[in-house]
Amino acid sequence: MAPASPAAGPPLCRPRAVVGPQGPWHSVHDDLSATGVVLVYGRLAQWLPHIQDVARVRPVLGRDWHRYQTLTHPRAKERFLASRLLLRHAAAVAIETAPDLVDLAYQPGGRPFVRGCDQIDISLSHTEEVMVVGITSRGRVGVDVELAARRMAGTGSEAQGCTPYERQRLDAADGRDRNDTLVRLWTLKEAYSKALGQGLRFRFTEFGFALDGTWARLVGPDGRDAGADDWVFATFAVDGKYVVSAAVQDAGFGGGTDLSVQTALDAGLLDALLDTTG
């Protein structure tokens, strides 16, 4: 799958579909190796057969097992299991290790990261039926997924989540286009906030987006360019009924590097660090 590119920022491919632990993961690894960024998604129904035996799943969950036990709603428990398995399998492919060796942890705001693996950044989002994971070796990544038909127009979303510039653009659109645009703007803002580690603490009325096809550009409340040239923002349609947005920063680390945990530390440097003869 050839990467598409905006005017600036890292290349970004459409989300890859993975139907369970069997993948196909080689394409995910190839995308990440070639561009330093990969998006993957899975449908809950396709992952359910792999989470029915909770005893077998438990070792892969690691620290998430305790959080899983606190959930009471059956559907929420299924979604939690499936989404964490997808995230662990995707991260394992990125750093070339086994899923049960991926040590997931969370920042105070809930942002996941792989403990001991600063060479990648990860993000997770899910709706009722679809789960999305973003991984990058370039800098920061945030993803968000939403049902495309979610009703947002006329619900107060404009006042809560749009800048004056965005509201002006929305007022020029008809009913269907207005709702589609709102869903897209909302997912873009969620993705960017996640990438920054801010979540909903970053007021959505304080930053906006100018939309251009698949791509978007970060702008201020008045529509002026916000100067985020090291970021790329994109929105993709998934399965004809979901909207997936991604925010990816290129911090200058480059793409196509070896991310394997087996080679994360140079052997010569390791020997020097462990040398006790001097």
Q: Quick: pLDDT tens for 8-31.
A: 556 788 999 999 988 889 888 888
- At 267, the pLDDT band (50, 70, 90 cuts) reads very low
Q: Which fold has domain 11-118?
A: Ribosomal Protein L22; Chain A (3.90.470)
Q: Which fold has domain 138-251?
A: Ribosomal Protein L22; Chain A (3.90.470)
pLDDT: which is higher, 39 or 31? 39
Residue 4: is its pLDDT beyond 80? no
pLDDT: which is higher, 124 or 116? 124
Overall average pLDDT of the 61-85 stretch = 92
Overall average pLDDT of the 101-119 stretch = 90
C-alpha span between 144 and 132 (Å, rounded)? 7
Place of tokens 């945030």: 142
Reading phi first (left if > 0) and then psi (alpha if -120 to 50, else beta), residue 96 is in left
What local confidence, expressed as pLDDT, does residue 236 receive? Answer: 97
What local confidence, expressed as pLDDT, does residue 157 receive? Answer: 85
Q: Provide the percentage of residues in the chain whose pLDDT is more than 70.
A: 86
Q: In terms of C-beta density within 10 A (0-12 exposed, 13-18 middle, 19 or more buried), how is residue 165 classed? A: middle
Number of alpha carbons in the 13 Å side-chain half-sphere of residue 79: 15
Residue-wise pLDDT tens digits, 206-251:
999 999 999 999 999 999 999 889 999 999 999 989 999 999 999 8
Provide the whole-model pTM: 0.87
User: Which of 89-103, 124-138, 262-276 is least confident?
Assistant: 262-276
C-alpha span between 40 and 28 (Å, rounded)? 7
Q: What is the dihedral of CA 226, 228, 232, 236, to 10 degrees?
A: -20
- At 33, the pLDDT band (50, 70, 90 cuts) reads confident
C-alpha span between 40 and 235 (Å, rounded)? 13
- Across 110-136, b (16+ Cβ under 10 Å) vs e yields ebbbbeebebbbbbbbbbebbbbbbbb
DSSP states of 124-143 as a string?
A: EEE-SSEEEEEEESSS-EEE
Region(s) of the chain under CATH 3.90.470.20: 138-251
- At 200, the pLDDT band (50, 70, 90 cuts) reads low
Q: Is residue 164 reached through a cis peptide bond, with omega within 30 degrees of 0 on the bond before it? A: no
> Do residues 226 and 218 touch, judged by C-beta distance below 8 A?
yes
DSSP code, position 195: H
